[in-house]
A and B are shown apart, each in its own frame.
Chain A
Amino acid sequence: MKQDIILAGVGGQGILSIAYVIDNAALADGLFFKQAEVHGMAQRGGAVQSHMRLSNDAIWSDLIPKGEADMILSVEPLEALRYFEYLRPGGIVVTSSTPYRNIPDYPDIDRVLEAVRKAPRSVVVDSEKLAREAGTVKAQNIVLLGAAAGSLILKETSLLATIDALFRGRGAAVLEANLKAFELGKKAALGA
């Protein structure tokens, strides 16, 4: 059993928090994992990605080879497209439909979403709307994690326990909003 995931988004969108939750859930589930991330200059509003590898067996490369990714999990639809060549045949794209427009030549969003849906399997959720509904627009990353949860090889209880550990220190309201964001993402994926 293995699962290779490209986490994608724009610097500042909380990709590393998603990675943190998956890492800790993987440790709790007794899996090997390696998770390569981007630090430094690119974190300033640039395209960022993290290669997340989970497996029952020892893992060699920190980077996912092209054609091995089982999932692209993106907090931004254009960023999901950037890594299509990593996706294996039959792989799944889970992405937000909310564009992050900090570049002058952002393409027409309908064309972006149309391209996303050309993936073998895709789940597109309106993370901005759902995060607002959950109580904070900052929780879009956790909405996406919820949307991906059903397709992950990790136990949902392990994911929830880590979300709890991550947000508990930031107050009950923040924790509650993120737990709700996870639930709303999960539900949206079932309906998508």
Chain B
Amino acid sequence: MSHQILLGDEAIALGAVHAGLSAGYSYPGTPASEIMEYLVRLAGETKAFTAVWSVNEKVAYEEALGASFAGKRALVSFKHVGLNVAADPFMNSAVTGANGGLLVVSADDPGMHSSQNEQDSRYYVQFAQIFAYEPSDHQEAYDMAREAFDVSERFGLPVLMRMVTRLAHSRSPVQTREPRGPNELKTGAAKDWTLLPVNARRRFALLLDSQPELVRFSEESPFNVLKLNESDRSLGVIASGVGYNYFREAMKGEAALPSFLKVSTYPLPESLVREIVGHVDAVLVIEDGYPFIERQLKGLFGIAGKTVLGKLSGAFPASGELSPDIVRRALGRDPLPAVAASGLPLSGRPPQLCVGCPHADTFKALNKALENYPGANVFSDIGCYTLGALPPYNAVHTCVCMGASVGMARGASDVGLHPAVSVIGDSTFAHSGITPLLGAAFANTDMTVIVLDNATTAMTGGQPSYGTGDRLLRIIEGVGVAKEHIRTIEPLPKNHEKNIQVIKEEIDHRGLSVIVAVRECVQETRKKRS
């Protein structure tokens, strides 16, 4: 067909659409958000498939699995920590199997550009014992996404695509191909999908039996490339994903490349790995993320007579994102000549709340209300408001995972902390703040929950929020919070004194209170104006 300029994320989305996608589900999270952004846009234009921002990743996974059980091709995407939220249906779907092709996209964030950790989704692939792709460029992302649905249907298993931030947020032209149509509806295999022990044991045995076949399929995949250098056996390179790009970049202009194996699929193509390791004295493993391949090579005892180099050996830093410079150094090449740093001490420029952000007014009022409680702990959550941890606010004291603030405030209150305050955004509250509030309401826990209702999922670019406005207030009342302790404030400078008073009153109430701070995100207001 034609060349289109696409983000790595968008290349996956378009590959899925061209593979006959019927439904896609996701919850926003950097660096995966652009997959669903693209699908939502395209679905709006073509009406050819469903694209939905789900309430959370677990729900998204289950919605996609349901579409797959109905025989259709489905995609679910999220950032790496989103797979933790979806881990329950994910692990079990490897046992039930898929019906229509099911592609799971998990976008890792080495370097923690916008995340709490660097977890590597390839461990989940190994954990669930399914097949996975790791693209190195945009064309592969498109091609692999298309192929993944065929593979999923061939093996009757979900297939995972591991992305990393660097490729997710890089743009390049992609050559697209003729689209395939959607599947017909087809239900069936109730005994496969009902994981009572009697069925689960049979299904799990099947999953285990399929492992050698998955390895063979990986060995035969043209996405894995083995090139042996017959004249130089000193060093070989095993590189996956963007690590492969950095390897080739570092070797630019060299007459000959060392032996290399490009790994693009999992489980590892074992015969190819054996071939290259057998061919060379030392092998350098280049992978963005955890030392997943390196650890499998080394095992507990290493390989007799061979040297394995990578993150475990210290050839690469143990944490952080790979870069062409780091890989160049590990390959023993001198740095390129470059202009010297300016010498002027450069102040950092960390991200910050926008000018006029409603969260800023809430934090100012909260800080003031807590002035006389030096030991107070404000449990917070994931969103723009996490930036309230930084100066000038220094207003929140935790950020662990989606929805954690409510449960953590409850735990702290249970053991005697007062005040125990939770600060959570409306979208995060809908994602996983409601269930802990249900428990706290039942116990009438002495804690104050502040829901920042800016009517959007702001940090990731303004996706819809499902618990906002009146609906949010009804949810809070519905889980059992006493009506007189559900308070609403409007975070504006003119309301500063009034808002301090409301927060103080609810902290003084030795039971559960929820304060909803209602004002639209300034970015969303701006978008509506333009």
The reply to whether chain A is a binding partner of chain B is yes
User: Among the interface residues B248, B328, B349, which one has the most CB atoms of the partner chain A within 10 A?
Assistant: B349
Bound Cα distance from A86 to B340, whole angstroms: 9
A62 close to B325 (CB less than 8 A): no
Does A46 reach chain B (CB closer than 8 Å)?
A: yes
Q: Which residues of B contact A65 (CB under 8 A)?
A: 249-250, 323-325, 328, 336
Given A24-B5, A33-B173, A39-B30: A105 in contact with B347 (beta carbons within 8 A): yes
Q: Which residues of B contact A27 (CB under 8 A)?
A: 3, 5, 173
B335 close to A44 (CB less than 8 A): no
B171 close to A23 (CB less than 8 A): yes
* CB of B398 to closest CB in A, whole Å: 17
Does B211 reach chain A (CB closer than 8 Å)?
A: no
B349 close to A10 (CB less than 8 A): yes
Bound Cα distance from A124 to B303, whole angstroms: 57
B349 close to A41 (CB less than 8 A): no
Given A46-B351, A60-B248, A67-B337: A39 in contact with B34 (beta carbons within 8 A): yes
Given A24-B5, A43-B351: A87 in contact with B339 (beta carbons within 8 A): yes
Does B245 reach chain A (CB closer than 8 Å)?
A: yes
Q: Which residues of A contact B248 (CB under 8 A)?
A: 60-61
Please encode chain A, from 56 to 90, with 1 for each CB lying within 8 Å of some chain B CB and 0 for all others. Answer: 00011111111110000000001101101111110
Q: Which residues of A contact B246 (CB under 8 A)?
A: 60-61, 63
Does B387 reach chain A (CB closer than 8 Å)?
A: yes
Does B388 reach chain A (CB closer than 8 Å)?
A: no
A44 close to B245 (CB less than 8 A): no
Q: Which residues of B contact A40 (CB under 8 A)?
A: 30-31, 113-114, 459-460
Given A23-B171, A63-B166, A107-B344: A86 in contact with B350 (beta carbons within 8 A): no
A33 close to B172 (CB less than 8 A): yes
A62 close to B336 (CB less than 8 A): no
* CB of B240 to closest CB in A, whole Å: 14
B31 close to A45 (CB less than 8 A): no
Given A27-B3, A33-B173, A40-B460: A88 in contact with B347 (beta carbons within 8 A): no
Bound Cα distance from A38 to B344, whole angstroms: 24
B171 close to A35 (CB less than 8 A): yes
Does A14 reach chain B (CB closer than 8 Å)?
A: no
Please tell me which one of the listed residues B137, B343, B354 contacts residue A44 in the complex, with CB atoms under 8 A apart: B354
B347 close to A103 (CB less than 8 A): yes
B166 close to A62 (CB less than 8 A): yes
Question: Which residues B288-324 have CB closer than 8 A to chain A?
Answer: 323-324
Stretch at the interface among A114-122, A150-158, A182-190: A114-122
Bound Cα distance from A97 to B282, whole angstroms: 51
The tally of residues in B whose CB lies under 8 Å from a CB in A reads 52
Please tell me which one of the listed residues A33, A39, A63, A81 contacts residue B346 in the complex, with CB atoms under 8 A apart: A81
B349 close to A60 (CB less than 8 A): no
A46 close to B349 (CB less than 8 A): yes
Please encode chain A, from 151 to 191, with 1 for each CB lying within 8 Å of some chain B CB and 0 for all others. Answer: 00000000000000000000000000000000000000000
Q: Which residues of A contact B173 (CB under 8 A)?
A: 27, 32-33
User: Among the interface residues A39, A64, A107, A115, which one has the most CB atoms of the partner chain B within 10 A?
Assistant: A39
Bound Cα distance from A89 to B341, whole angstroms: 12
* CB of A79 to closest CB in B, whole Å: 8
Bound Cα distance from A41 to B31, whole angstroms: 10
Given A19-B171, A33-B173: A103 in contact with B349 (beta carbons within 8 A): yes
Question: Which residues B108-139 have CB closer than 8 A to chain A?
Answer: 113-114, 137
A42 close to B113 (CB less than 8 A): yes
Bound Cα distance from A27 to B346, whole angstroms: 36
Bound Cα distance from A6 to B298, whole angstroms: 39
B354 close to A45 (CB less than 8 A): yes
B336 close to A41 (CB less than 8 A): no
A60 close to B338 (CB less than 8 A): no
* CB of A62 to closest CB in B, whole Å: 4
Q: Which residues of A contact B345 (CB under 8 A)?
A: 107
* CB of B173 to closest CB in A, whole Å: 6
Please tell me which one of the listed residues B3, B33, B340 contacts residue A84 in the complex, with CB atoms under 8 A apart: B340
* CB of A131 to closest CB in B, whole Å: 17
Please tell me which one of the listed residues B5, B170, B338 contacts residue A36 in the complex, with CB atoms under 8 A apart: B170
- Among residues of A, the one whose C-beta sits closest to the C-beta of B345 is A107
Please encode chain A, from 11 to 47, with 1 for each CB lying within 8 Å of some chain B CB and 0 for all others. Answer: 1000000010001100100001111111111111111
Does B200 reach chain A (CB closer than 8 Å)?
A: no
Q: Which residues of B contact A44 (CB under 8 A)?
A: 351-354, 384, 387, 459
Does A91 reach chain B (CB closer than 8 Å)?
A: yes
- Among residues of B, the one whose C-beta sits closest to the C-beta of A107 is B344
26 A-B pairs within 8 Å (CB atoms) are namely A19-B171, A27-B5, A27-B173, A34-B137, A35-B170, A41-B351, A41-B387, A42-B114, A44-B354, A46-B350, A46-B351, A60-B252, A61-B249, A61-B324, A62-B245, A65-B323, A65-B324, A66-B325, A79-B349, A81-B346, A84-B341, A84-B342, A89-B339, A91-B339, A107-B347, A120-B339
Q: When A and B form their complex, which 7 residue pairs have the shortest distance between CB atoms, in order from nearest?
A: A67-B336, A40-B30, A67-B338, A40-B114, A46-B351, A61-B249, A65-B324
